[in-house]
Structures are given as C-alpha cells and as structure tokens.
Amino acid sequence: MNLRTNRLHLVFAAASLLLSACVSNVREDVAEAAIDAQKGPEAPVQRNITNFDDALQCMDMLLIDNGIRDVVVLTEDLVDNTKKANVGTRDMLISSVSDMTRRSRAIRLITFGGDVKNLQDWLKNSGGHTNVYNFQPDYNIRGSLTQMDEGVASGQAGLNVQLGPIGGGKNASSNATVLGMDLSVMSTKTMELLPGVTSRNSVMLFRNAEGTNFGVNYTAGGGQQGGQQGNQQGGQQGGQQGGQQGGQQGGGMQGQVSSKTFGINYNFSVSKSEGIGGGVRNLVELATIELFGKLLRIPYWQCLGVDASHPIVKREIGDWYYNLVSEGKLVPYMQNQLRVMGRYNGPINGQMNKELRDVLKDLAAANKMPAPDTVDENLFSYVLNLRNKNIKGSATQLAHLSEADLRKRFAKKKGDVATTRGLGEHKGLQPIGVEVIGAGKPHRTGDPLQVTVKTDRDAYLYCYLTSAKDATTMRIFPNPKATDPLVRANEATAVPGNGGMAVKATATSESVVCFASDADPALTAGQELVGRGFDPQHNSVELVRMAIGSGSDGYFGEGRYLLRKK
C-alpha cells in the first residue's frame, strides 16, 4: 500500500467519524425538538387578514348610507365539486357576512344544512326559541367551488457547474393552478335565479420551488470509472451515483448547502395570501361583496377601488336601470335613496308625486343637469354613485353615547329651543299624537298579537313589544316584511303588519309601545339602539325613548297598549 492510498484511507476514516458525529447530533437535535413541541407554540395566534378586510368594512358603511335593513338571506352548504380543496367554504361566507355587517346589521343570514340538524333537534325537543325559522328569507345563496385545474402551466430553469470533483448549481420551478368559484342568489318565493346577481371569479395559484445543491466526489483504488462518473454527476446528485458505480473500492460523499421549497402563493390583484385555503377565503370575501352589492343595488365597486367610469361598471349601472324600469321598481328605489339623503320626506310607494318631482328638479339644477320629467339614467347613475348619502346620520349618530349622556341630551332637547328643517323654531319637542288600538280581549301565551296605530301627522313609526317591566324590548315594526317606517297622518297602520310574521304573546309580555318621530331613528340613532325587527334586545323602553327622541328634529310622540292576560 503506497503513501497516496494511506492518505486516502485516512481521509475516508476522518469522513466516517465526521458523519457518525453528525448522525449522533441529528438524533440529539430531534429529541430536543420533540420535547419543545410538547410545550405548544410560542408564537401568538394570528388573525387571518386579507386584502378584502377594508372592502368589507366599506360595504358595511354603504349598507348604512343606503338605508339597507332587515334583509333576510338563507345560505346552503357550499360544496367542493372539485373534491380537492377540502375547506369550509360556507363557514368562510358566514364570517364574511358577519364582518360586512358589524355596524349596519343589515343582513340577517340564516344557515341551513346537514350540519345544523343537531341544533334543530335540540330546539325541537327542548321547546326553546320558538321563533326560530318563523319568518321566511327572501333570498337563498347557493353555489360551489367549481374549478381546480392543476398544472395548467409550468416552467423551470437551472444552472449547474462542474469543476473536477466539485459540482453545484441552482434550480427553480413554478407550477400554476386555476381555482374557480360560482355563487348565485335565488328568490325563495319563485325559486328562480335572480339575473345578474352572481359572482363568477377564478384565481391563479402558484407553487414555486427553489433549491441550491453542492457536491464533492472522491474515489479510491479500483474505482476509477466510478470516480469519473462521480465527477460528472456530483453537482446534481452529490456524487452518489458515482460512488455506487465506482465498484467495491469506490466511495461517494454528498454535501447539500441549502434547499428551500416555497409553498403556494395566491395572487389576486393586490391581494396575497398563502395556500389553497387562503385563495378560497379571498374568493369568498370578493363574492360576498359582489353578491350583496348586486342584490341590493349599492355601488360596491367603490369598495373594490374601481372607478364608476370603468366600462364594466357603466354597463352594470345600465343593466340595473333597465331592470328597475322593467320591474316597476325605479321610482321606489329613488324615493328611498332621496329619503336617506334627507331631500325627500314622502312615502316609498312608487308614485311620481309632486314632492318627488320637485326634489328631482332641485337635484338636477344643483348639479347642472337638464331638468328631468322623470328619472333618467344619468340622474340615476349620479345618485347611485354618491358617497356618504346619509350625511345627517353620520353627523348625529347616537349609538356611541352612554346612557347618561343620552339622558342629558334628551332632557335638553325637550326643554330648550329646537330648530327644525322647514318648521321654524319651537319650544322643545312638539308632540305627535299616537293612538295604539288593540284587540280589546285578554291574551294567552302563544296568541298572535296584532294592533292598529294612528298618528296625527306624517311620522316615522317604531313599535316594540316589551317585557319584564320595560327592561327588554323587541321591535315589531318596521320588520323584514313591513320595511317602511313612514306612516301617513290619520291612516290606520297594522302592526306588525298584514304580511308580517305572527308575533305571539309570551308569559312575560306586558305591552306594545310605539314611538313616532319626524326623523327616521335608524338613520339618527342607529341599529344598535333601535334594534332589528323581531330581534329581542336588552335595551330598555326608556333607552329607546331617549334615542328616538334625541334624534327627532322637532316632533316626537308615543303611545302604549297594555296587554290583558287571561
């Protein structure tokens, strides 16, 4: 054995000792990592924040500014027809709607599917919550994940260098997958699809991989052929094949400098998140904004950063105008929009009355538009795209006040001089006569409740069923079926309404209290204080009275019907 062979044997012996030490260290590292893993994650829990969070908040304010309230919607199970995503699509939709209605509380989402059967059975057997599913939703959301095309495009690039026994290189690859989702809205009355109220979007997901390798090959004795092949393949395979093919006397040693694989990157416009689940969540949030924007005909493109002059937006506005005209809903739509703006104080009845014509002329003149004989598309587009329509509500919102501050404000408004729009100056709040007429017979628990209310002037009427000595309230008018709170002077109004849900008296029901104001409390006091239709609240009658009275311009009144019990 010559000196050169002895040196090589020493090198291999040293390498073997080094590898043995590395293997031992790996075992120790894994043992320590396993112990640490049992302690739980040290990093705090992170909320999943997407680039649609601001858009959902923007939609919440749009719902308030456009006077949207008590929209009852049912959602089914949103299945994964691709059988590949395995994510909770419907739960993502529920979270999105919840985030979109934090302040407005305008959407009342009912979930229905196989996963709520246990809750339904429990409610049925326990006899609790008898008002569950008592009023029918007007709309139903259905749809699914419809598309996942994997590997629609791919590419790779790399550079490898071999210098004698030393070799290395860098490689990168990218693979594109297209994920699509289709959602639509149906009418629960006819089971017909609402034309144009759909969300059909797809997103491209990228799986990127990048790695660097480095290899060194040594051969000894009769392994000359293996050494040559090892020199050629050592950069990419670390000399492993060279060592295997080098014969019994050949050997191989591989060292890897770095290797890092990147996961799925989801890109949608300026949005970015990781993983298929993140991609689906962004699609769901976009669909939530798009669906309810189209359903309620509010300018949702403002929340997505799209200008109203965009050709697609202009075409959608034109479609809305055409459909409203053909459905006979254009006039009531404009009446509601102008009422929210504080320009129109008439009924939402679909009739082109003198008050509405005067408002349209004034609005057109103020914005240098031709005087319209009716609502044309230009005027419709202008009103639709206005930002912050509910200027009064934004300035006088009362929900942020404490009960003590609200009490002081109400007392001051009742006692001091109040200036009202078009009514001049009055000493405090002037009274509105409110008469509540009941059936005149005792009520038993479970009996349907129906009263008739009259006011001696045009007013916004809000009625509540009270219990526990006025400590809790449930708003029974307006409600999801009788949505317009404006009543005409001396006209009988059915409460909760001829087409509304049958409100039933309970063992703790005490009375029906109705408040009348010359300003809509939903725009001045906010939903937090006036509540939602058929939704029990812990707000006392006194708190509701102060909120509605404080938001009145100059006229306010109330009436009460005491329930007689058998």
Domain chopping of the chain, boundaries:
53-145+281-288, 146-156+164-265, 307-389, 398-562
Contact 543, 529 (CB under 8 A): yes
Instruction: State the 10-residue block means of pLDDT for the chain, 566 residues long.
Output: 53 53 60 60 49 88 85 89 87 93 87 64 59 70 89 80 76 81 91 90 77 63 43 41 35 31 32 65 91 95 90 93 93 90 84 90 88 88 84 55 78 56 52 89 80 94 90 90 89 82 76 92 78 85 91 90 83
Q: Which residues contact 299 (CB under 8 A, 6 or more apart)?
A: 62, 293, 308, 384, 385
Task: Look up the pTM and report it.
Answer: 0.69
Alpha-carbon distance of 142 to 78, in angstroms, equals 7
Distances (CA, A) of 139 to 188, 336, 423: 5, 21, 41
CB neighbours (10 Å) of residue 260? 8
Q: What is the structure's pLDDT at 521?
A: 86
Q: What is the structure's pLDDT at 174?
A: 77
- Residue 110, exposed/middle/buried by CB under 10 A (0-12, 13-18, 19+)? middle
Contact 363, 381 (CB under 8 A): no
Distances (CA, A) of 156 to 10, 150, 151, 208, 276: 41, 16, 13, 10, 22
Among candidate residues 225, 237, 95, the one with its CA nearest the CA of residue 167: 237
The three-state secondary structure class of 355 is: helix
User: Per-residue b/e over 68-77, b at no fewer than 16 CB within 10 Å?
Assistant: bbbbbbbbeb
Alpha-carbon distance of 549 to 458, in angstroms, equals 16
CB neighbours (10 Å) of residue 33? 9
Q: Beta strand 472-477 with 459-467: parallel, antiparallel or unpaired?
A: antiparallel
- The two counts, helices (H) then strands (E), for the chain are 16, 22
The three-state secondary structure class of 299 is: coil
Q: What is the structure's pLDDT at 243?
A: 34
User: Per-residue b/e over 218-248, b at no fewer than 16 CB within 10 Å?
Assistant: bbbbebeebbebbbbbbbbbbbbbbbebbbe
Element (H, E) at 424: strand 424-427
DSSP assignment of 472-495 equals EEEEEES-SSS---EE-TT--EEE
DSSP annotation of 300 reads G
Alpha-carbon distance of 217 to 261, in angstroms, equals 26
Element (H, E) at 263: strand 253-268
Alpha-carbon distance of 446 to 342, in angstroms, equals 41
Q: What is the structure's pLDDT at 556?
A: 93
Alpha-carbon distance of 136 to 72, in angstroms, equals 8
- CA end-to-end span of the chain: 116
DSSP annotation of 195 reads E
User: Per-residue b/e over 537-565, b at no fewer than 16 CB within 10 Å?
Assistant: bebbbebbbbbbbbbbbbbbbbbebebee
Chain length of the chain = 566
- Residue 1, exposed/middle/buried by CB under 10 A (0-12, 13-18, 19+)? exposed
Q: Where are the alpha helices (DSSP H) in 297-385?
A: 311-327, 330-340, 354-366, 377-385
Element (H, E) at 5: helix 3-37
Q: What is the structure's pLDDT at 84?
A: 85
Contact 170, 158 (CB under 8 A): yes
Q: What is the structure's pLDDT at 255?
A: 31
Q: What is the structure's pLDDT at 452?
A: 94
